[in-house]
Structure 1
């Protein structure tokens, strides 16, 4: 039988580890993920969240290592997305809890997903429930990152359950922050923020201010993905505040694809100009990089320069893919430009400029277009573009 892990006097981790998942809604999860669920062993045993339905048995085994599941009286669902609510109907059927608590939007979402009467009860910010010997209070966290999202706070134990917020896709057998290598988890935390939370950065800043005003200072933060923050929960809170601010940095990202190498040559000269201007640069070919890694690099960048060859009178498919993805994540404060090579129709390269404008990127120069292989004049234009973008970033940093 798989075992629960005690994380505080009354709280046990009863989740599941997904070592093998490599794609999560188009987001590359090279290190897998976890689906964290928590059991509060109070006078009224309470389950916080469930797991993806495929991992129901693993969760139930962990619960059984502590308590007969039938003795659980309360289930709280902080987030209705299927990786946390997928096992909820089975859990309700097996456990037969007295109460199942969700937010108002959680009620709508879970009902629409399962089309079953799970006898849900709704709660809102400020509501509190007695779990016998302790109290769970609720804070709605709408659009972090779904409308139904909420936090649950175990008051005496001072443990904050935050669903997807402050988590990361990171499969690990080491359950706490102080047990994991920062060089590994920091990238995964950045990647999670960039690919999941970035569009809601303004909401993050308002929510952090709200939590501070409420006086919440948890000794432990227990998210639904990744590990649990017990040594220094303020570390991830401060990182969220930093990422949400989207403050300008002297960094540019050059994203492109190439067919016969011409667009790549142009990218190299742009990168050389950026470097000469003193800008940190990441040059990413979509032939060898995933869209989710591109947006991770863009998280702390101030410039986005995009390039594409022309295929069938259109931009290259890999570029259409990454630009559609980036647009949805709504990164703010970028300057940028476009470039590309073509054989007999250069018009599609101008579409790259329009795409940047639709993403609210400040375009600093017309697109550079090279017929077939770039000549010395095009190479110079590309290097000069890199210098210009570097200059524009410097102006933003003043």
Structure 2
């Protein structure tokens, strides 16, 4: 039997150290990484997260040195990416009666990824608790840290936070605990934050609010070092690095409308941007058609949103006169977004986007958002069929938040 690596009383590390140069998110991890999984040997034995999909058999062999996997009652999956959930198929094959604990979206994705439709899932939300026999777990949803389904787990009795990717480092270490590290881990910790978490920093602030009243003695993430020496230092570091900058940013919303639907979209976008602290000006181009004045407004803005209704597959109002001027302007330091309402196919929005692509403005589209933030449920250009209802209004607000965060980065 290998030496037990204890995280807390009756809580053990059962992960895998990957000391290769590891391909990861279009990067190469020169220092390797670890896939940290944890076993809580309580009356209802519980595993928190697993390992990369490449190491499922090794994971089960290691786990079996601590416990017969058939005895496991709960498997907590904080985050479904295969570097953390990849050991789940091998584990569920052995732990045939174990209940999988995750968020609603997490359950949906795990069922599809690993064909687990016949397994029992326990869906948890913010503040839900689970008694595992001698210990209580409490769960908090942390969407977009760094994917939408993510949650974190806190053990009340042990005062241990299990936050999966949050507070991680990409270092292959057999020492595992930050107080045993041969060198200062601050740089590795902050580089990981910048690469993985910083694009989602508003959600980092939300997460910090959720954990601020927890008594945390150890942070046990799913990559790299377990933080048992001064864990508050690392929470404070995330707080500092994720706070908004004080630099003032300006947005300009230009639109033309037929029946007022595009005006409503512009209003929703403005409200969302202003909630992010971005000074936002809105101009109805149909009523204010002075192209030279509008060009001056564009030059004084950091973000410009161009919107139009669609009429007979075309743009309405005078906004095309403005769009024709963009190719002759230097917009390389600005972001541009196309938006609009439509009743059928909505060609005007795509025509606007074509004009933006023909200029040197940085066009915000779905590809840029996914690559910058990992968010894939918001679509750019922004298209709304007829007038925005409650669901569309919420989506518009979220789109404005995401665009605002990109501007403030």
TM-score, normalised via structure 1 length: 0.61
CA offsets, 1:75-106, max 9 Å, x none?
11111011011111111111113311111110
Q: What's the secondary structure of 1:238's corresponding residue?
A: helix
Residue in structure 1 matched with residue 240 of structure 2 by the alignment: 242
Residue in structure 1 matched with residue 61 of structure 2 by the alignment: 61
1:45–1:131 Cα contact (<8 Å) kept: yes
Residue in structure 2 matched with residue 136 of structure 1 by the alignment: 137
Residue in structure 1 matched with residue 193 of structure 2 by the alignment: 193
Q: What's the secondary structure of 2:334's corresponding residue?
A: helix
1:226 matches 2:224: yes
Residue in structure 2 matched with residue 312 of structure 1 by the alignment: none
Residue in structure 2 matched with residue 72 of structure 1 by the alignment: 72
Q: Aligned partners of 2:18 and 2:168: how far apart in 1?
A: 15
Q: Aligned partners of 2:225 and 2:71: how far apart in 1?
A: 27
Residue in structure 1 matched with residue 97 of structure 2 by the alignment: 97
Residue in structure 1 matched with residue 18 of structure 2 by the alignment: 18
Residue in structure 1 matched with residue 334 of structure 2 by the alignment: 357
Q: What's the secondary structure of 2:57's corresponding residue?
A: helix
1:4–1:63 Cα contact (<8 Å) kept: no
Q: Aligned partners of 1:52 and 1:66: how far apart in 2?
A: 20
Q: Aligned partners of 1:187 and 1:359: how far apart in 2?
A: 34
Provide closer, same or farther for how the CA distance between residues 233 and 359 of structure 1 changes in structure 2, counting only shifts above 3 A. Answer: farther
Residue in structure 2 matched with residue 175 of structure 1 by the alignment: 176
Q: Aligned partners of 1:147 and 1:355: how far apart in 2?
A: 31
Provide closer, same or farther for how the CA distance between residues 21 and 189 of structure 1 changes in structure 2, counting only shifts above 3 A. Answer: same
Residue in structure 1 matched with residue 122 of structure 2 by the alignment: 121
Quick check: 147-156 or 64-73, which moved more?
64-73
1:15–1:58 Cα contact (<8 Å) kept: no
Residue in structure 1 matched with residue 84 of structure 2 by the alignment: 84
Q: What's the secondary structure of 1:157's corresponding residue?
A: coil
Provide closer, same or farther for how the CA distance between residues 171 and 16 of structure 1 changes in structure 2, counting only shifts above 3 A. Answer: same
Q: Aligned partners of 1:31 and 1:355: how far apart in 2?
A: 36
Spell out structure 1 runs of 4+ moving beyond 6 A. none
Q: Aligned partners of 2:101 and 2:188: how far apart in 1?
A: 31
Deviation at residue 107 of structure 1 after TM alignment: 1.0
Q: Give the aligned CA root-mean-square deviation in angstroms.
A: 2.6
Quick check: 93-102 or 47-56, which moved more?
93-102
TM-score, normalised via structure 2 length: 0.59
Deviation at residue 2 of structure 1 after TM alignment: 4.8
Provide closer, same or farther for how the CA distance between residues 206 and 238 of structure 1 changes in structure 2, counting only shifts above 3 A. Answer: same
CA offsets, 1:284-343, max 9 Å, x none?
xxxxxxxxxxxxxxxxxxxxxxxxxxxxxxxxxxxxxxxxxxxxxxxxx9xxxxxxxxxx
Q: What's the secondary structure of 1:218's corresponding residue?
A: coil
CA offsets, 1:48-89, max 9 Å, x none?
011112112222222222211111111111110110111111
1:10–1:157 Cα contact (<8 Å) kept: no
1:37–1:48 Cα contact (<8 Å) kept: yes
Deviation at residue 188 of structure 1 after TM alignment: 1.5
How many residues end up aligned between the 2 structures?
Answer: 260
Residue in structure 1 matched with residue 6 of structure 2 by the alignment: 6
Q: Aligned partners of 1:15 and 1:109: how far apart in 2?
A: 23
2:59–2:87 Cα contact (<8 Å) kept: no
Q: Aligned partners of 2:122 and 2:197: how far apart in 1?
A: 27
Residue in structure 2 matched with residue 203 of structure 1 by the alignment: 203
Provide closer, same or farther for how the CA distance between residues 143 and 72 of structure 1 changes in structure 2, counting only shifts above 3 A. Answer: same
Deviation at residue 357 of structure 1 after TM alignment: 2.1
List gaps (5 residues or longer) in structure 1.
250-332, 334-349, 361-366, 368-398
Q: Aligned partners of 1:124 and 1:43: how far apart in 2?
A: 23
Q: Aligned partners of 1:170 and 1:246: how far apart in 2?
A: 28
Residue in structure 2 matched with residue 47 of structure 1 by the alignment: 47
